[in-house]
Structure 1
Amino acid sequence: MLQRTTRLTLVEQIALQMEGLIESGKWEIGMRIPAEPELMAELNVSRNTLREAIRALTHAGLLKTKQGNGTYVCSSSVLGVVLQKRILRSETQQTLEVRHALEREGALLAAQRRTSDEARALLLVLERCEGAVERGDIDGYVTEDIRLHQSVIAASHNDILIELYGHIAETLRDLISSLTRREVGAVYLEVHRQLVEAIVRQDADRAVAAVHHYIAESKAAISGSEREGHEPA
């Protein structure tokens, strides 16, 4: 039997309004939200109600309060928080398999749908990746590598895929950083160049093949590291 729905409390209503500001992008990740007096006036609520709403969103993982420095947005949606926590609990091989699935489809669609502007942007990010490696700037390379893969996904023009990948991209930073310190070199960079050039040429088969290649290299690097870690001293 269907049950009668309950009305939302004022705290829940305020929390939903604030969540909407986050999900819409008006409050971006990393942004410090307005101070309490400003929010109280804008939302027409008491300090206690506002604080309860902020506490609820903090518990959900959307906001983070820094003592003496305000409250900041740390995720764009509750779904993002759930995905990030799940990835952090997962084995590296499983995480790579999910990354493989998303990036393979993203590369295929990007090759079919990319615009001229997106093609130029991909080439520019690739150049920054290569420049970071030449300088020996591993942290800079990791940042540009994540940006490159996000740009590929963005060129897929699939909003759901873009949102899913956006939620997990930063969570993958530690994994990518770890792999980069083992793998980065001429061969690895060449595979990324093959990926970008295939998308620019709108060659979907070669774009997918490039993803298969660098994911296989990543899996091999992890397996090798695990074998070394289990060898007797």
Structure 2
Amino acid sequence: MLPKVKKINLSTQLIDTITALIESGEWELGMKLPNEIDLAASFNVSRNIMRESMKILENFGILESKAGIGTFVSETALSSIHNMRFFDNLKNNSSIENILETRLIIEPELAYYATLRSTEEDLTLLKEIFERNEEIHKENQFTKKDDFNFHMFIAKCSQNVILENLLFSMLDQLRASDYKDFDLHAQTEEVKDSYSHHREIAMAIINRDPLLASELMYKHLFSRINAINSSYNKDLTDSKKIESKRLANKK
């Protein structure tokens, strides 16, 4: 018998209940589910709540809808549940520092592989981006949206969909956090530096120099972290230790 769901945060509770059924094995991988009306009645929720919850689970690949056949528990449901919780944790609990540190780890590698894997069409688009941004930069209108699009374009060129999605989630979280306050109050020189860094990284990618692209991306993000730490009057000791250790390891 399926458990009843309390009428508080119904969609979230329903998703938790369904994932628990899958993880326990009560709902087996590949299993065909009852229709939406019967499921809503079984869980004692409205059809709207049932539909909303199932749509979320489908988006994460936990359920799979087959046109004209029905809805099934995905064969990859267990790993998809793990991914859903990972991104939910990233969205709700990660600190700004942790996200920036993660970017410092993955984005230099994204720049490296973007240099190796970008197509000629990608390089043409990259050139066009900076032709457009050159005019924007001259007018001091280089925005956070331009920054976001640049980093996401490089991630796309890396052809690593997992890291591309991860970066999107991190950048989206930063835009919804106190990090946006830093951007609103960033000094003009910092904005100019950010643009210059972007241009140098782009040129390294266009010139097919993966090591330089990776190094420039690291320096760009590291300088950003230091600027933010300074802005919030935080101790820079940890970030300096990270940089010293990194440089020592490269020798």
Where does 1:163-182 land on structure 2 (aligned, <5 Å)? Answer: 163-174=165-176, 177-181=180-184, 182=186
Name which of 134, 143, 152 aligns with 2:145: 143
* Compared CA separation, residues 81 and 130, structure 1 to 2 (3 A): farther
TM-score, reference length from structure 1: 0.62
* Compared CA separation, residues 48 and 87, structure 1 to 2 (3 A): closer
Offset, 1:224 = 0.9
Offset, 1:44 = 6.7
**How many angstroms apart in 2 are the aligned matches of 1:186 and 1:54?**
48
Give 1:185's aligned amino acid. Answer: V
Give 2:147's aligned amino acid. Answer: D
Which protein shows a greater Rg? 2
CA RMSD for the aligned pairs?
Answer: 3.6
Cα distance per residue 1:68-113 (max 9 Å; x no partner): xxxxxxxxx8736742542543332221111112211100101111
Give 2:26's aligned amino acid. Answer: T
Give 1:6's aligned amino acid. Answer: E
Offset, 1:212 = 1.5
Cα distance per residue 1:97-141 (max 9 Å; x no partner): 111122111001011111111111122233444444444446xx2
Does residue 106 (structure 1) correspond to residue 107 (structure 2)? The answer is no
* Compared CA separation, residues 200 and 59, structure 1 to 2 (3 A): closer
8 Å CA contact 1:80, 1:167 repeated in 2: no
* Compared CA separation, residues 205 and 7, structure 1 to 2 (3 A): closer
Does residue 46 (structure 1) correspond to residue 66 (structure 2)? The answer is no
State the partner residue of 1:95.
99
8 Å CA contact 2:204, 2:210 repeated in 1: yes
Name which of 4, 20, 26 aligns with 1:6: 26
Give 1:146's aligned amino acid. Answer: F
Q: The residue matched to 1:227 in structure 2 has which SS?
A: coil
Give 1:56's aligned amino acid. Answer: S
8 Å CA contact 2:36, 2:50 repeated in 1: no
Where do 5+ consecutive residues of structure 1 fail to align? Answer: 15-42, 64-76, 229-233
Q: The residue matched to 2:26 in structure 1 has which SS?
A: coil
Name which of 216, 219, 244 aligns with 1:210: 216
* Compared CA separation, residues 58 and 46, structure 1 to 2 (3 A): closer
Offset, 1:222 = 1.4
Q: The residue matched to 2:232 in structure 1 has which SS?
A: helix
* Compared CA separation, residues 180 and 213, structure 1 to 2 (3 A): farther
8 Å CA contact 1:126, 1:148 repeated in 2: no
State the partner residue of 2:123.
119
8 Å CA contact 2:113, 2:210 repeated in 1: yes
Q: The residue matched to 1:107 in structure 2 has which SS?
A: helix
Give 1:196's aligned amino acid. Answer: A
Name which of 147, 152, 158 aligns with 2:154: 152
* Compared CA separation, residues 156 and 48, structure 1 to 2 (3 A): same
The percentage of counterpart residues that share the same residue type is 19
State the partner residue of 1:38.
none
Does residue 193 (structure 1) correspond to residue 195 (structure 2)? The answer is no
Number of aligned residues: 180
Where does 1:69-88 land on structure 2 (aligned, <5 Å)? Answer: 79=83, 82-83=86-87, 85-88=89-92
8 Å CA contact 2:112, 2:211 repeated in 1: yes
